[in-house]
Amino acid sequence: MNWQEKSQSRNGALAAVLVVALAAVGCASRWATPFEPSAHMTVIVAANDAVVPDPIALSKSKRHEADWYSWPGSTLTVQFDDSSLFPRLTCSGNHCSSGPISGKAATKAHGYHARVSSPAQPEHKASIDPTVMIDP
């Protein structure tokens, strides 16, 4: 396989990820509304710290949670600047789940890092770090 074929293959994969990410934004906006308790927000990680949607708004009183997904075959990690924000945060393969928000979490924007790695994809760094908005 020559360089041009590899480039076209990567461009096709990136286009597919973007289509899935845009579809997820529409689904996520329907799932996590202020009126739905225990809603799960779906977040797509396209590259390191490049997530859709960003920022995400989660309600502590409505018990909202977040689920991050990267492409199949990749490994995803999510790390918050304040590690006590989601005490039950778990990651396995290409999926991370926040679990419930800590009762002590401040109602403000919280920064985090979403790292995705794959043997087939080199690391990329987004120019802006994503955030989670915690609403009362």
Find which of 7-11, 29-33, 50-54 is predicted with most confidence, using mean pLDDT: 50-54
Answer whether residue 14 shows pLDDT above 50: no
Secondary structure (3-state) at 11 = helix
What distance in Å separates the CA atoms of residue 124 and residue 115, rounded to the nearest whole number?
9
Domain that holds residue 80: 3-135
Across the chain, mean pLDDT equals 77
The CA dihedral of 89, 40, 95, 43, to the nearest 10 degrees, is -110
Given a contact cutoff of 8 angstroms between Cβ atoms, the answer to whether 32 and 58 are in contact is: yes
pLDDT in tens, 86-112: 999 999 999 999 999 999 999 999 999
pTM above 0.85, yes or no: no
Partnered with residue 93 across adjacent β-strands are none
Lookup result for tokens 């797509």: 44
For the ranges 3-12, 35-44, 98-107, the lowest mean pLDDT is seen at 3-12
Question: DSSP string spanning 60-129?
Answer: TTTT-EEEEE--TT-EEEEEESSTTS-TT-EEETTEEE--SPPTT--SSEEEEEEEEEBTTB---B-SS-
CATH code (residue 94): 2.60.40.420
